[in-house]
Structures are given as structure tokens and as C-alpha cells.
């Protein structure tokens, strides 16, 4: 979906924790058949709520399977932590998954926030400023490597950046990203906060000399925030993703699809 189109697309993020692989595989196949525009998972190594010793599966291994078991929705990590892998290797992984999917990957990237998994896996977890510095360097390295790979990505491979840091993160979004994602799970007024941050991103785009319309604005919501989807669309969101835990009640996805239809946005693959 070109960022400037005034249409709403919808997707689902399937939590890869406290679940079984068969449940996950069934959920992404069924979501694809329902007609969602995007299917995502997250990039963590440990459960970050519920039983900390519960089941958990690795992001990019899942995306490889998702790439060959779905056929129409875009797929991607929401988001992949650049601290976990050499960024040149990450670019190669993303290119390969994009090829497996027939060009349907969106490369979602973030700086990381969950200290416990860094500690458990022996990955450094510096302060916020250092993490953002490393994140910016990783984005540059990913883009450099994508330009060298043979073959390159099969599709457009948009870059999504997730986060809400007004100074560093949104500046990076304005300079580097095709999509921006915000997740206001702790916000008292999520729509108002998204609208304000959307305006901050517009200002950064103007400062760095970029057309704000080139950055697609996306929002992730919890099931209890489904009544807010129309408000997010009015505030500038072009893509809304439902964050869904196991056992993956896809009736909630169907509710989101009904909102898409009510707003006049028929099914179509984002790109």
C-alpha cells in the first residue's frame, strides 16, 4: 500500500509465547485465508508477560515458515531487535525470507527494550542513548548490505521502525523508514497520543527535507482497543495491527476486518 493512499489496511500480530507451533501455524494460515493485509510476530527470546519459563519461539525461524505457508498477506517482525544479530546477517536473513514469501516481507526494526532477554543471552544492554546510537548504525548497515546482496529482495522490502521517542527515534523514522509503528498499550488516551506523535513525525520529516506522505503511519492495538480503530484511522493511521495472544481468537480479527470494510477499504495487500 503506498503510504499516501487514504485507505485502511489491517493485520494481526501473533504472539510466539505460551503457545505450540501447531497453534501458531494454524493461526497464520487461517488469518491469511480470512483476508488480513498483514501477519506479524515479535522478536524476543523469552516470554515478556505471563510465566517467564513458558514456551517461546524465535522470530526469524517462524517467519521463514510463515513465508511459505501464507500467500497473500505481507509478513514481518513487529519488530526485530537490531542488537540481537549482526546487521549484515540480519539483512541477508530478511532478503532470504522476502524471496521465500514472493516479495511480501516488511522489515520491522527496533532498538530493543527487554533487558532480561539480553542478560539471559549474554547480549549487552547499554543505556538508552547508546542503544539508539547502535540502532542508527545498524539501520545503515542493513541498508548497505541489502544493496549488495545477489539476488536482492524479491519485493519492495519496506523498512518499518517502531517506537515513540520524540527526538531520536522519530528523527530516524523521518530519515530512514517507509513505515512507522506505534503501540500505545499504556496510554490513557491512545488516539490523542498517536495524533500528537504523528504531528511530531510530520515536523521531523519537514526538518530533514522529506515529504511526510512518504512514511506510512501504523498502529498496533490490543483486543480491548478495537473500538478505537476508527479514531486511529481519522488520526492518520493507514494500517492497524491487532496484537493477539494464544489461543488466537480469530473472531477478534474478523471484527477488525469488519471495521476495514465499514471504512470503505476492501481487501488488498500492503506494499
Indicate yes or no: pTM above 0.85.
yes
Residue 173 — φ and ψ, nearest 5°?
-55, -50
Q: What is the mean pLDDT of the chain?
A: 94
Alpha-carbon gap, residue 234 to 245, rounded angstroms: 27
Which CATH code fits 9-263?
3.20.20.30
Q: In Å, how far are 85, 112, 118, 132 from 135, measured between CA atoms?
A: 12, 9, 15, 5
What is the reported pLDDT for 61? 98
Q: What are the pLDDT digits (tens) for 66-89? A: 999 999 999 999 999 999 999 999
Does the structure show a pLDDT above 80 at 103?
yes
Written as nine digits, the cell of 160 is 518499518
Residues 88, 141: contact at Cβ < 8 Å?
A: yes
User: Which pLDDT score is estimated for 2?
Assistant: 43
- For 246-261, what is each residue's pLDDT tens digit? 999 999 999 999 999 9
Strand, coil or helix: 87: helix
Mean pLDDT, residues 183-196: 93
130 confidence band (pLDDT: 50, 70, 90): very high
Least reliable range by pLDDT among 102-111, 214-223, 242-251, 258-267: 258-267
pLDDT band of 7, cuts 50, 70, 90: confident
Distance CA 19, CA 39 (A): 17
Q: Which of 237, 213, 210, 212 is nearest to 225 (CA)?
A: 237
| Phi/psi-derived region of residue 18, left when phi > 0, alpha when psi is between -120 and 50, beta in every other case | left
Neighbour count for residue 221 (Cβ, 10 Å):
23
Tens of pLDDT, residue by residue over 149-166, are: 999 999 999 999 999 999
The grid coordinates of residue 99 equal 524471496
Return d(Cα 28, Cα 185) in angstroms, integer.
Answer: 23
Radius of gyration for the chain, computed over Cα atoms and rounded to the nearest angstrom: 17
Amino acid at each position: 500500500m503506498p503510504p499516501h493512499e487514504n485507505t485502511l489496511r489491517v493485520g494481526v500480530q501473533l504472539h510466539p509465547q505460551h503457545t505450540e507451533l501447531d497453534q501458531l501455524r494454524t493461526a497464520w494460515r487461517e488469518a491469511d485465508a480470512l483476508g488480513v493485509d498483514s501477519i506479524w510476530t515479535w522478536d524476543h527470546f523469552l516470554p515478556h508477560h505471563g510465566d517467564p519459563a513458558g514456551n517461546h519461539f524465535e522470530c526469524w525461524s517462524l517467519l521463514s515458515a510463515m513465508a511459505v505457508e501464507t500467500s497473500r498477506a505481507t509478513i514481518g517482525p513487529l519488530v526485530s531487535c537490531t542488537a540481537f544479530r549482526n546487521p549484515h546477517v540480519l539483512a541477508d536473513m530478511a532478503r532470504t525470507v522476502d524471496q521465500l514469501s514472493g516479495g511480501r516481507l516488511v522489515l520491522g526494526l527496533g532498538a530493543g527494550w527487554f533487558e532480561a532477554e539480553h542478560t539471559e543471552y549474554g547480549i549487552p544492554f547499554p543505556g538508552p542513548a547508546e542503544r539508539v546510537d547502535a540502532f542508527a548504525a545498524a539501520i545503515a548497515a542493513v541498508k548497505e548490505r541489502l544493496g549488495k546482496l545477489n539476488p536482492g529482495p524479491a519485493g519492495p522490502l519496506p523498512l518499518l521502525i517502531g517506537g515513540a521517542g520524540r527526538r531520536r527515534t522519530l528523527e530516524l523514522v523521518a530519515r530512514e523508514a517507509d513505515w512507522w509503528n506505534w503501540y500505545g498499550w499504556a496510554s490513557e488516551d491512545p488516539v490523542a497520543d498517536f495524533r500528537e506523535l504523528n504531528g511530531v513525525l510530520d515536523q521531523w520529516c519537514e526538518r530533514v527535507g522529506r515529504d511526510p506522505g512518504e512514511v506510512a503511519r501504523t498502529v498496533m492495538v490490543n483486543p480491548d482497543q478495537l473500538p478505537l480503530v476508527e479514531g486511529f484511522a481519522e488520526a492518520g493511521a493507514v494500517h492497524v495491527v491487532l496484537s493477539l495472544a494464544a489461543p488466537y481468537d480469530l473472531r477478534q480479527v474478523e471484527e477488525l476486518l469488519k471495521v476495514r470494510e465499514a471504512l470503505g477499504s476492501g481487501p488488498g495487500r500492503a506494499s
